[in-house]
C-alpha cells in the first residue's frame, strides 16, 4: 500500500473519533473534534501532493481519496444537522450531489471514459472544509468561559453565520454538480445511448 493510500485510510479511520468527540459533552471535546478534523484535512492535502510529486498515483487511490473526503465531510454535516445547527435539506443536497458524482465517475470508468474534474469542483471541497472548520471553531468557543470568546460566539449567533455559510455551500455544491454534467455532457450522452 502506498503512502497516499495509507493517509487516505487513516483519514477514514479518524472519522469515528471525530464524531465521538463532536457529541461528547466534556468542555474540551469541541477542541478535540476540531483538531482531529483539521489533521484529517491536512492528510487530504498532503496525500494528493505526495502522490503527484512522487508519481504514486494509483487506481485504488483515485477511488479511495474522494471517498474518504465524502465520508469525513458528510459525517460532519450530518452531525451539524443532528445538533440543530443546519437544516437536513442542506445535508441531503451535499450528500446526493456527492453520490451522483461518485456513481457517474464509476459508470464512466466502466465505459472506458474518465470524468473531467474542474477547478470549481475542487474549490467546492475547500469551501466545505472551511465551513466545517468554522463550525467546529464555533462549537469549541461556544462552551468557553473566556469573555472575549463569549462575545465572538454571540456575534456568530447574531448573524446566524453557521447556517448562512452552510446554505451558501449547499447552493455552490448544486452548482458544481451542474458543472460536472455540463463539462462531461458529451461523454455522458455517449455512454447513456451506447
pLDDT tens, 36-58? 999 999 998 888 788 888 888 77
Which residue range(s) make up the domain with 25?
3-192
In contact, 78 and 23? CB cutoff 8 Å: no
Computed on alpha carbons and rounded to an integer, the radius of gyration of the chain in Å comes to: 18
Q: How far apart are CA 34 and CA 30, in angstroms?
A: 6
CATH of the domain at 144: 1.20.120.1760
Task: Write phi, then psi, for 160 (nearest 5 degrees).
Answer: 50, 45
| Range from 105-114, 117-126, 159-168, 179-188 that averages highest in pLDDT | 159-168
Nearest residue to 28 (alpha-carbon basis) of 127, 104, 140: 140
Q: Which three cell numbers stand for residue 163?
A: 447556517
Query: What distance in Å separates the CA atoms of residue 113 and residue 125, rounded to the nearest whole number?
Result: 23
**pLDDT for residue 192:** 66
* Listed residue (32, 41, 30) closest to 153, CA to CA: 30
Report the number of distinct structural domains present in the chain: 1
pLDDT score recorded for residue 67: 86
Tell me the pLDDT tens digit for each residue of 122-157: 789 899 999 999 999 999 888 776 777 778 888 999
Amino acid at each position: 500500500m502506498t503512502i497516499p493510500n495509507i493517509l487516505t485510510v487513516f483519514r477514514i479511520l479518524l472519522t469515528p473519533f471525530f464524531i465521538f468527540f463532536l457529541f461528547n459533552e466534556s468542555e474540551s471535546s469541541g477542541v478535540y473534534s476540531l483538531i482531529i478534523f483539521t489533521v484529517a484535512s491536512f492528510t487530504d492535502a498532503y496525500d494528493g501532493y505526495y502522490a503527484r510529486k512522487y508519481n504514486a498515483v494509483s487506481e485504488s487511490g483515485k477511488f479511495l481519496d474522494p471517498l474518504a473526503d465524502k465520508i469525513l465531510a458528510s459525517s460532519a454535516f450530518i452531525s451539524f444537522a443532528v445538533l440543530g445547527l443546519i437544516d437536513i435539506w442542506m445535508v441531503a443536497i451535499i450528500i446526493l450531489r456527492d453520490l451522483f458524482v461518485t456513481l457517474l465517475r464509476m459508470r464512466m470508468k466502466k465505459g472506458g471514459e474518465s470524468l473531467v474534474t474542474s477547478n470549481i469542483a475542487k474549490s467546492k471541497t475547500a469551501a466545505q472544509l472551511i465551513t466545517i472548520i468554522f463550525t467546529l471553531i464555533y462549537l469549541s468557543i461556544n462552551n468557553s468561559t473566556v469573555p472575549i470568546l463569549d462575545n465572538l460566539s454571540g456575534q456568530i449567533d447574531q448573524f446566524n453565520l453557521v447556517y448562512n455559510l452552510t446554505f451558501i455551500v449547499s447552493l455552490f455544491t448544486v452548482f458544481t454538480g451542474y458543472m460536472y454534467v455540463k463539462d462531461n455532457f458529451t461523454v455522458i450522452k455517449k455512454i447513456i445511448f451506447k
